Amino acid sequence: MSDVHLSPARLDAAIFDLDGVLTDTASLHEAAWKETFDAFLRTWDDRQPPFGPDDYQLYVDGRRREEGVRTFLASRGIKLPEGAQDDPPGAETVMGLSRRKNEAVQERLRTASRALPGAERLLRDLRTSGIAIAVASSSANARQVLEATGLAHHVQARVDGIDASRLDLPGKPHPALFEEALRRLGVKAERAVIFEDAIAGVEAGRRAGFARVIGVGPNARADALREAGADEVVGDLSGVTVG
């Protein structure tokens, strides 16, 4: 890991994932996924091992909620019907499990969201340097989290899970979410940097053609983020300077 320096002469915009990059909500999402899948697996087939950290990183992190359900279940050889948007959270359908997870995370988000080290300082420095800021997140709760953590006023554009559903944007590792954020800012990828903590998100950033793809995560994940396409990896945003 090393510190990262951003030059305003070379950049017009910075795009950020939210959970695990700007805010600590990644841990809340992981706990909500575990609660959801462990409860389902106990009733579906109690011989299945519980949902673990590797499952979160490989099959869920950075993906739209319904896609996370499908991808994880496929890894266990399980296929459920899609169901409907109004399926109750107890339904054994993709939409039912998705709704169960959303209810589990909503309860946590109300009381436990906070900005990660260096996040507010970096956003402030970027704005002062004339670099536009967008948040591109698969989360449908991005607006609430940004407001709860006091970061919303730094952000000029937001593309979230609600937008992805409305615009039918494919999930990461497809770059569509990031490309929509760039479009809203009016900036080309070769003049922008992306910050991501998810392997699927780093892959999406590389496919989009960003000038720099910065992975964010602990030492234990640095190699995996680099293998996915990160140019550099920082432990958190306090390791990033502008000027």
How would you class 108 by CB atoms within 10 Å of its CB: exposed for 0-12, middle for 13-18, buried for 19 or more?
Answer: middle
Is residue 194 a contact partner of residue 15, using CB atoms and an 8 Å limit?
A: yes
- Note if 17 is an active site residue: yes
Query: Which of these is catalytic: 12, 17, 55, 236?
Result: 17
* Tokens matching residue 223: 């190699």
* Tokens matching residue 211: 């000038």
| DSSP code for 106 | H
Whether the bond between 173 and the residue before it is cis, its omega within 30 degrees of 0, is yes
Q: In which order are the strands placed within the sheet that holds 232-234?
A: 157-159, 132-136, 13-16, 192-196, 212-216, 232-234
Q: How far apart are CA 63 and CA 137, in angstroms?
A: 9
Helix (H, G, I), strand (E, B) or coil at 13: strand
Query: Which of these is catalytic: 12, 19, 160, 236?
Result: 19
Q: What torsion, rounded to 10 degrees, do the Cα atoms 138, 152, 233, 220 define?
A: -70
CB atoms within 10 A of CB 43: 9
- Note if 163 is an active site residue: no
Q: Residues with catalytic annotation?
A: 17, 19
